[in-house]
Amino acid sequence: MDDPVLLTGAGGRVGRAILSGISGEYDWRLLDREPVSADALPAGVSEDDTVVADVTDEWQVREAVRDVGAVVHLAGDPRPNAPWDSVLRNNIDGTHAVFDAAAAAGVDRVVFASSNHAVGAYETDERTPDLYRTNDDYRLDGSELPRPSNLYGVSKAAGETLGRYFHDEYGLSVACVRIGNLTEDHPPREYERGQAMWLSHRDCAHLFGRCLEAEYDYEVVYGISNNDRRYYSLERAREVLGYDPQDNSADYTFEGEPKDAA
């Protein structure tokens, strides 16, 4: 991609994971509500490539999408227990502003950071904890209706539906990535559920890179590593996006230590 890629929420956890892996491969425009300090910028990205803006301000967003080839939209309130007023404004209205500005500017594609919380209530008492273990073959594959575990998840599901609409109406390619449990270096410690939906930093960066390169119309995929005990299918991400994850929480002990070092 020759045109710049706008990364909203660039200073957040997912943004930093993406930049740690593929910062050299694109001409980035980094948007965040807070200024990114110069020493935190990845190599090749200067302060001139940063925008301090709030995605709920449609005029700031319109300015930010100018001349970009793609948008990776991560900005929003990331707290699973965020109150309704915040997710309504920051996540639902903010995501509308990003899709709307992208469509108006003729941007080709938007990659939207959705969440496992959009479907968290499939983890019923009847299904858990077996769901988190390798002997269970239940899989969510992205074709199921949203079933959020909190209002944050409701807001992410609404963002996915906005993406569907902007794809159908304006022809934008839209990929929604239901991000699992993103941690650096090792899977979550002593947390079965988190290990089942672990997403390593390098797999995260690779997956978002594939979302910027592959050809697709509208996709909902799961963003997790190649974990033995997953309950999210990786089929769609592999087939459509060419996602090829390298990490697996089964290579670590329950305490989060690498098994080959044990």
Question: Does residue 148 bind a second copy (CB under 8 A)?
Answer: yes
The b/e string for 215-240 (b: 16+ C-beta within 10 A; e otherwise) is ebebbbbbbbbbbebbbbbbebbeeb
| Shortest distance, position 124 Cβ to a second copy, whole Å | 8
Distance CA 81, CA 87 (A): 10
Residues 151 and 82 sit within 8 Å (Cβ to Cβ): yes
Find the part of the chain contacting a second copy (CB under 8 A) among 37-45, 89-97, 125-133, 178-186.
89-97
Rounded distance between C-alpha atoms, residue 144 and residue 16, angstroms: 30
Of the pair 89, 202, the CB lying nearest a second copy is at 89
| CB within 8 Å of 143: residues ≥ 6 apart | 220
Minimum CB distance to a second copy, residue 73 (Å): 16
What residue has token string 């890179």? 209
Angle at 218 between CA 215 and CA 224, to 5 degrees: 85
Does the annotation list 90 as a binding residue? yes
Residue 32 near residue 72 (C-beta atoms within 8 A): no
Q: Does 169 engage in binding with a second copy (CB under 8 A)?
A: yes
The one catalytic residue in 122, 152, 231, 252 is 152
From residue 101, give the alpha-carbon distance in Å to each of 54, 63, 93, 107, 215.
13, 9, 12, 9, 21
**Does residue 20 have a known ligand-binding role?**
no
168 is a contact residue toward a second copy (CB under 8 A): yes
* Min CB(37)–a second copy separation in Å: 34
Q: Which residue has the tokens 């997790």?
A: 224
The site that binds a second copy (CB under 8 A) totals a number of residues, namely 26
Q: Under the criterion CB under 8 A, does residue 150 sit at the interface with a second copy?
A: yes
Position 237 contacts a second copy (CB under 8 A): no
Instruction: Say how far residue 156 (Cα) sits from the centre of its chain.
Output: 10
Q: Closest CB to a second copy among 150 and 181?
A: 150
- 259 assigned ligand-binding residue: no
236 binds a second copy (CB under 8 A): no
One-letter amino acid identity for 165? Y
Question: Using omega within 30 degrees of 0 as the cis cutoff, is the peptide bond preceding 129 cis?
Answer: yes
29, 96, 109, 230: which one binds a second copy (CB under 8 A): 96
Cβ at position 112, least distance to a second copy in Å: 14
Instruction: Give yes or no for a contact between 173 and 192, defined as CB atoms under 8 angstroms apart.
Output: no
- For residues 153 and 187, which CB has a smaller minimum distance to a second copy in the complex? 153
User: Catalytic residue at 231?
Assistant: no
Residues classed as catalytic: 152
Could you list the residues known to form a binding site for NAD(+), using ranges.
90, 115, 152, 156
Binding site for a second copy (CB under 8 A): 84, 88, 92-93, 96, 100, 121, 143, 145-151, 153-154, 157-158, 161-162, 164-165, 168-169, 220
